[in-house]
Chain A
Amino acid sequence: MQAIINGIMLGGFYAAMMLGFSVIWGVMGVINLAHGEFVMVGAYLTWLMSDGAGIDPFVAILLVFPIMFVFGYVLQRVLINRIVDRPHLVALLVTFGLSIIMANAVKLRYTATPRLTDTALSGVWSPYGGVTIPRTKTGILVVALLIMAGLYLFLHRTKLGKSIRAAAQNKQAARIVGIDVNKIYAITFGICIAITGVAGALISSTQAVFPFMGPPLTLRAFTITALAGLGSIPGALMGGITLGLVESFIGIYVEGIGTNLAIVASFALLWVILVTRPQGLFGGLRPAEEPQPL
């Protein structure tokens, strides 16, 4: 029981954390290697608000979201837009460079000392029989679900969202029917970075925030994207929770080396998915037939 709770909590966080990565890839075909660094920047923003003004991380989300949206929007207009139609390698190089710049800029400004934020939610509920529900992680799960539901509704119910999906499916056709693809890309990137920043805000109270926390998160986002399918929101949730449950069960029920073995298992799972269902568990935004510029 505890393993299930831990797994779902972990999965909810994973899902929120990787969503932006997956959607950017799905819509623009850009693999964002600086993804973990955007989480880190969001976490630092939260820490600044929490440490400087005593704002609770869960409240800070409301501020982090618009700030990161503007950051993402501008970054797309200035930098990412230039690499959207270029070969994948260019995108990899540019975002990798970006990740180094961001990590080291934060280190120069705020030093490498690990930070942590405090939330009023901290603590546990113990409903019955030794099972505990960590309150902070429940909060994270709720926010993650809200974000996912919000994004899903946005993409499927609003005109702008439909334009984004149209641009993802066929850029030329979208242009022909009068959609400003560049603007759509900038908005998508802004939203994704905003969500990623919020994920950073969420984890700032459960784990150490430091300038070089990004790369393992990017790696994890990559894994879950493969598991879930590009840009698929239900896929992100299920992929995240699948991984969370696998890690949690193996971690709890294998003696001695459980936490280590869980990492092995998650990659083994990835191999299996890749061989049997290369489009991911739940498919995704981008149709598999579309040719990819390499």
Chain B
Amino acid sequence: MRKQRKLWVLMLVLAMVAAACGSDDTADTTSAPPAATTTTAAAGTDDTTTTTEAEMIPCSTSTPDGCAGTILLGAAVSETGRFSREGKDTRQGYGTWVDWLNEEYGGIKVGEDRYLVELIQYDDEGDADTAANLVERLITEDEVDFLLGPYSSGLTMGTSAIAERYDVLMVEGNGASETIFERGFQNIFAVLTPAGNYTQSAIKALADAGAETMVIAYEDTAFPTSVGAGAVKWAAEYGVEVLAEETYPLNVADVSAIMTKFRDLDPDIFVGGGHFNDALLFVRGAKEAGWTPKGMVITVGPSNPEFAAEVGVDANYIIGPTQWEASMSWSDEWFGTAAEFAARYEAKWGEKPSYQAAESTATGLALHLAIELAGSLDTDAVRQALRDLNVDTFYGPIDFDDTGKNAGKPMGAIQILDGATQVIAPAEASVADLVYPMPAWDER
């Protein structure tokens, strides 16, 4: 009896600690031997192939004796855990850049020399502590020259602090939360539009279409909180009244309480800040509450082509902020137009690129261009070059401000129409007209 009770208490304390940390049980595997969680080199290719390629491929015809060396890059990116989907996009995006650079472009030009790139990637399991440990290991044991970012703002927050401590540059494309850039760090650079601006184009388009009231729900973690705060700001800017703000915890399984509450307030627009799974819950939740807002703006989910495929007809008319779409008019001399990048990506990975994939490729490209601009692998020189960088790419303009944010790129918005994502804002990049208000769930 007493032992039984002891066991109960022990298990419950464990359970509560796990819940309080907001982490998966998989976090417990951090003590597993390193080999178990290690994946190396470009996504999809293993360690050995990349190394062999590095030795076999001549860097450039301009340098007679081949490559001057290899630049070692490292990243902790989720392969398992709650960001496994977005992490896969990130890995494939990095892989697209690495393979293009090594096999087609012929290595990064540093002065007269050419350097190939090797990327070491570890699985952070979506866990902040694991990611921080892995980045420390990349710096101290693998001795990487530069870091690429993990997926998600939360993980970027922690890992960028490690990079700052060791004075190693981290270029990232998947941590959009403003708080990442408010710490005075010198070594973090992000190619993506910051989270506070995510909903700007969408709210403006909806306000122009006549929306007057709005409700917001977001997960209480770094990125969604920034999205929520930004949405409140843009609502005020465009004259939309915010009727309610709700937060919900990580790994939420049910949002019916939030949706019921919102339904009774009867706002014009619903704004949801979260990740892919939350987007599915919001759509099902609104339908189950018998509530059709006139417009639904949801981050991360809708812009991914998989979303419409899984949700089916209910996905139609949902609006999503997008960092990038293949139909946008950006182009560069390296990957061509956005559409050409998308074709290259699809040929390589067998699926269309999400914006997370595109921004990951752009992350590598930004570092690459900065190293070429600096003409050196020295951290200070490359940092200055990143700050000086001002280029147009297939992903959009890249122009870092003093905090490391990309100040040059506007955020787009898509609406799912007939199962396809169509850019509806900003006006200069749009390919379809906003449908507002959206039809009721049972009239589709």
Give the B-binding residues of A (Cβ under 8 A): 2-3, 6, 9-10, 31, 33, 88, 96, 99-100, 103-104, 107, 111-116, 118, 122-124, 126, 130, 132, 134, 136-137, 205-208, 210-212, 214-220, 222-223, 226, 247-248, 250-252, 255-260, 262-263, 267, 270, 274, 278, 288-289, 291-292, 294
Chain B, residue nearest A17 (CB): B253
Interface string of B76-90 (1 = CB under 8 A from A): 000011101101100
Q: How far is the CA of A219 from the CA of B6 in the complex (A)?
A: 18
**B64 contacts chain A at the CB level, 8 A cutoff:** no
Decide: B18 and A263 in contact? CB cutoff 8 A: no
Q: How far is the CA of A220 from the CA of B25 in the complex (A)?
A: 13
- Which B1-53 residues sit within 8 Å CB-CB of chain A? 1, 3-9, 11-12, 15-16, 18-19, 24-26, 28-29
Q: Could you say which of A206, A212, A262 contacts B24, with CB atoms under 8 Å apart? A: A212
Q: A212-B84, A215-B24, A274-B12 are in contact. Are A255 and B281 (CB under 8 A)?
A: no
Decide: B248 and A260 in contact? CB cutoff 8 A: yes
Q: A10-B254, A104-B80 are in contact. Are A116 and B310 (CB under 8 A)?
A: yes
Residues of A within 8 A of B6 (CB): 294
Which 8 pairs across A and B sit closest by C-beta, in order of nearness? A251-B257, A112-B84, A134-B288, A132-B290, A259-B248, A215-B25, A124-B290, A208-B277
Residues of A within 8 A of B390 (CB): none
B6 to chain A, nearest CB (A): 8
Interface string of B262-303 (1 = CB under 8 A from A): 001000000000001100110010011110000000000000
Decide: A116 and B311 in contact? CB cutoff 8 A: yes
**B244 contacts chain A at the CB level, 8 A cutoff:** yes
Chain B contact-residue range equals 35 or more
Find the residue from B85, B247, B254 having the highest chain A CB count within 10 A: B254
Chain A, residue nearest B126 (CB): A212
**B261 contacts chain A at the CB level, 8 A cutoff:** yes
Q: How far is the CA of A101 from the CA of B311 in the complex (A)?
A: 28
Q: How far is the CA of A114 from the CA of B86 in the complex (A)?
A: 11
**B388 contacts chain A at the CB level, 8 A cutoff:** no
Q: How far is the CA of A137 from the CA of B277 in the complex (A)?
A: 18
Q: How far is the CA of A207 from the CA of B254 in the complex (A)?
A: 8
**B55 contacts chain A at the CB level, 8 A cutoff:** no
Q: How far is the CA of A31 from the CA of B8 in the complex (A)?
A: 11
Decide: A114 and B257 in contact? CB cutoff 8 A: no
Decide: A207 and B284 in contact? CB cutoff 8 A: yes
Residues of B within 8 A of A270 (CB): 12
Find the residue from B85, B253, B264, B280 having the highest chain A CB count within 10 A: B253
Residues of A within 8 A of B81 (CB): 212
Decide: A31 and B258 in contact? CB cutoff 8 A: no
Q: How far is the CA of A294 from the CA of B81 in the complex (A)?
A: 31
Q: Could you say which of A214, A252, A274 contacts B261, with CB atoms under 8 Å apart? A: A252
**B378 contacts chain A at the CB level, 8 A cutoff:** no
Q: A112-B85, A212-B82 are in contact. Are A132 and B288 (CB under 8 A)?
A: yes
Decide: B220 and A222 in contact? CB cutoff 8 A: no
Decide: B256 and A248 in contact? CB cutoff 8 A: yes
Q: A115-B310, A207-B277 are in contact. Are A252 and B260 (CB under 8 A)?
A: yes
18 A–B contacts from the bound complex (CB under 8 Å): A100-B26, A124-B290, A132-B289, A134-B256, A134-B288, A206-B288, A210-B277, A214-B25, A215-B18, A219-B25, A248-B256, A248-B257, A251-B256, A252-B260, A258-B246, A258-B257, A267-B19, A292-B3
Interface SS majority for chain B: helix
Chain A, residue nearest B88 (CB): A112
Q: How far is the CA of A9 from the CA of B260 in the complex (A)?
A: 14
Residues of B within 8 A of A118 (CB): 312
Residues of A within 8 A of B63 (CB): none
Residues of A within 8 A of B257 (CB): 3, 6, 247-248, 250-252, 258-259, 262
Q: Could you say which of A115, A257, A294 contacts B3, with CB atoms under 8 Å apart? A: A294
Give the A-binding residues of B (Cβ under 8 A): 1, 3-9, 11-12, 15-16, 18-19, 24-26, 28-29, 80-82, 84-85, 87-88, 126, 220, 244-249, 251-258, 260-261, 264, 276-277, 280-281, 284, 287-290, 306, 310-312, 441-442
Decide: B1 and A210 in contact? CB cutoff 8 A: no
Q: How far is the CA of A51 from the CA of B6 in the complex (A)?
A: 46
A85 to chain B, nearest CB (A): 15
Decide: B306 and A226 in contact? CB cutoff 8 A: no
Decide: B19 and A278 in contact? CB cutoff 8 A: no
Q: How far is the CA of A212 from the CA of B126 in the complex (A)?
A: 11
Decide: B16 and A99 in contact? CB cutoff 8 A: no
Q: A260-B220, A263-B19 are in contact. Are A289 and B1 (CB under 8 A)?
A: yes
Residues of B within 8 A of A267 (CB): 16, 19
Chain A, residue nearest B278 (CB): A208
Contacts A210-B85, A250-B257, A258-B261 aside, 10 further interface pairs with beta carbons under 8 A come to A103-B26, A118-B312, A124-B290, A208-B281, A208-B310, A212-B24, A212-B80, A222-B11, A256-B247, A263-B249
Residues of B within 8 A of A100 (CB): 26, 29
Decide: A113 and B261 in contact? CB cutoff 8 A: no
Q: A10-B256, A88-B7, A258-B246 are in contact. Are A116 and B280 (CB under 8 A)?
A: yes
Decide: B306 and A113 in contact? CB cutoff 8 A: yes
Q: A123-B441, A256-B247 are in contact. Are A207 and B7 (CB under 8 A)?
A: no
Q: Could you say which of A9, A103, A259 contacts B80, with CB atoms under 8 Å apart? A: A103
Residues of B within 8 A of A257 (CB): 220, 246-247
Q: Could you say which of A113, A207, A258 contacts B253, with CB atoms under 8 Å apart? A: A207
B255 to chain A, nearest CB (A): 7
Residues of A within 8 A of B288 (CB): 124, 132, 134, 136-137, 206
Decide: A126 and B290 in contact? CB cutoff 8 A: yes
B130 to chain A, nearest CB (A): 14
Decide: B260 and A123 in contact? CB cutoff 8 A: no
Residues of B within 8 A of A130 (CB): 264
Q: How far is the CA of A31 from the CA of B4 in the complex (A)?
A: 12
Q: A33-B25, A211-B84 are in contact. Are A216 and B251 (CB under 8 A)?
A: yes
Residues of B within 8 A of A122 (CB): 287
A73 to chain B, nearest CB (A): 25
Q: How far is the CA of A265 from the CA of B85 in the complex (A)?
A: 31
Chain B, residue nearest A260 (CB): B249
